[in-house]
Amino acid sequence: MNQRLTDASDFAQSAVPQLTQLDKLLRCHICKEFLRVPVLTPCGHTFCSLCIRQYLRQDSKCPLCLNELRESSLRSEFLINEVIEVYKSLRPNLLNVLVTKSQTESPLIELGSHSDEDDDIKIVGAREKPSSSASSSLSLRVSKPPARAQSLLKNQAGKAKQKMAQCPICEQFYPIEALERTHLDECLTMQSLGSHPRPAEKENSHARKASPLPVPQKRAAPKPEPSQCHEESESNLHVDKYLNSAATVDRQRLPKVNFTSMSVSQIRQKLASLGLPVSGTRQNMIARYDHYEMLWNSNFCDAIEPVDETELKRQLLSWEASRNSSNAFGSVNSISFIMKRANGGKSYQKLLSDFKNDKFDRRSWISLFHQEFKELVREARRKLVNKRSAQALTANGEEAFQSSA
């Protein structure tokens, strides 16, 4: 989850206020966050899988157009999912660059003063200025090909100054230093293992062999630099993930259960068969199953990368914990009872209510439970020591047993 509250209006003051629209479109209309595991309705609207499932539980219609809508007709949207992932990773950089730029200097003035020059080049120049200090990754992405090629040439020229030599084993060219230091060893071990050197290196050296004077050749077919290689593989990650996605159902969808006709023990059985806790009242257990069913179906039916069952159970637990802390404030567990006695209870309750948000006061929480934490640490140490001595004892015993045998 985002630490800071992001909102579409963040772009309103930036150099490209139109991005507000894009930002708005990529958000769920229920939670107003960026869509998490987006699903498409038959009426063409998109929501977070969990949000819409939660809403459909109480009302079976689309929140946007109010047409009838059933949970079974939701389809996952992998493309939007990846688009949002890419956008989310881009957004901080985008904001950084666009907002600082609009504050320092208006791009319009720049454009006007050099109106005789080419617009494309202008924009590149204007963008590179702030980004060179803020983030180099973005400047690579937004800069136009000529600039990219130029920087490539510069790097290439620098490399060409190094003396190259051919490796006697793989017959490829490497800088002498690198060859002597690492490559020979690498090559030899690779050969003895029956495999070839890393393909990336191979490619690079091939290119060098083909063009002893790399300058004009490079312009025609620029090779990605290491940093760009990384960038590309990262952006391709989302493309690949999308291309490889398929609506596989390797786990059965959990059915909705009509609990009205079931006895408490039957409900308990049902929960136990899924490995869920069976504590609490009938109401608690039903709510627990319903929420788990939602998490499960959203995860295994909609998500592009389903998480593990244990993670789902963890989510269920935290959901239940937050629900209980807000619903039944009066429920007395042992710790809160102790704390009430010791500290008047008020500060503890206040701290607890903030436990899950950013306002949580870590320091006073620590000081409040200082004694308890100390006790726990002491106990853990004692247990560790006990365990060790027990192990030593058994090891001794075994030895003694063996020697006697």
Partner 1 sequence: MSRIAKEYKKIVQFLSQDHQELGVVSLEPIEGDLSRWNAVISGPSETPYAGHRFKLSLSLQEDYPLSPPRVTFEPGTMPHCNVDFQTGEICLDILTRDHWSPAWDLLHVLEAVVQLLGDPVPESPLNIDIANILKVGDTLAYWDLINYYMCLPCLVDDC
- For partner 1, the binding residue among 3, 5, 109, 221 (CB under 8 A) is 5
Nearer to partner 1, 20 or 135 (CB): 20
Q: Does 31 bind partner 1 (CB under 8 A)?
A: yes
Nearer to partner 1, 48 or 124 (CB): 48
Query: With contacts defined by CB under 8 A, how many residues of the chain interact with partner 1?
Result: 21
Nearer to partner 1, 84 or 170 (CB): 84
- From CA 231, how far away is CA 224, in angstroms rounded? 10
Q: Which of residues 57-116 bind partner 1 (CB under 8 A)?
A: 58-59, 61, 63-64, 66
Coil, strand or helix at 70: coil
- From CA 245, how far away is CA 239, in angstroms rounded? 10
Nearer to partner 1, 350 or 383 (CB): 350
- For partner 1, the binding residue among 29, 122, 241, 270 (CB under 8 A) is 29
- From CA 283, how far away is CA 262, in angstroms rounded? 12
- From CA 24, how far away is CA 267, in angstroms rounded? 42
Q: Which of residues 289-328 bind partner 1 (CB under 8 A)?
A: 326-327
Which of 47-55, 88-96, 99-107, 310-318 is the region at the interface with partner 1 (rule: CB under 8 A)?
47-55
Nearer to partner 1, 1 or 220 (CB): 1
Is the separation of the CB atoms in 209 and 172 below 8 Å?
yes
Which of 5-13, 295-303, 371-379, 391-399 is the region at the interface with partner 1 (rule: CB under 8 A)?
5-13
Minimum distance between the CB of residue 391 and partner 1, rounded to whole angstroms? Answer: 48
Nearer to partner 1, 60 or 73 (CB): 60
Q: Does 40 bind partner 1 (CB under 8 A)?
A: no
- From CA 176, how far away is CA 183, in angstroms rounded? 9
What does DSSP assign to residue 143? S
Q: Which long-range contacts (CB under 8 A, 24 or more apart) does 6-13 make?
A: 6/34, 6/91, 7/32, 10/95, 11/95, 11/98, 13/99, 13/102
Spell out a b/e string for 369-384, using b for 16 or more CB atoms within 10 Å of the CB, else e.
beeeeeeeeeeeeeee
Minimum distance between the CB of residue 64 and partner 1, rounded to whole angstroms? Answer: 5
- From CA 13, how far away is CA 309, in angstroms rounded? 43
Nearer to partner 1, 33 or 290 (CB): 33
Which of 55-63, 256-264, 345-353, 384-392 is the region at the interface with partner 1 (rule: CB under 8 A)?
55-63
280: alpha, beta or left, given left = phi > 0 and alpha = psi -120 to 50?
left
The phi, psi pair for 345, rounded to 5°, reads 75, -20
- From CA 301, how far away is CA 57, in angstroms rounded? 17
- For partner 1, the binding residue among 17, 21, 25, 32 (CB under 8 A) is 32
Minimum distance between the CB of residue 254 and partner 1, rounded to whole angstroms? Answer: 21
Instruction: Write out the two tokens for 97.
Output: 């660059």
Nearer to partner 1, 30 or 274 (CB): 30
Minimum distance between the CB of residue 186 and partner 1, rounded to whole angstroms? Answer: 51
Nearer to partner 1, 52 or 80 (CB): 52
- From CA 295, how far away is CA 273, in angstroms rounded? 17
Q: Does 234 bind partner 1 (CB under 8 A)?
A: no
**CB within 8 A of 62, min separation 6: which ones?**
41, 43, 45, 68, 69
Is the separation of the CB atoms in 139 and 147 below 8 Å?
no
Residue ranges binding partner 1 (CB under 8 A): 1, 5, 7, 9, 12, 29-33, 51, 54-55, 58-59, 61, 63-64, 66, 326-327
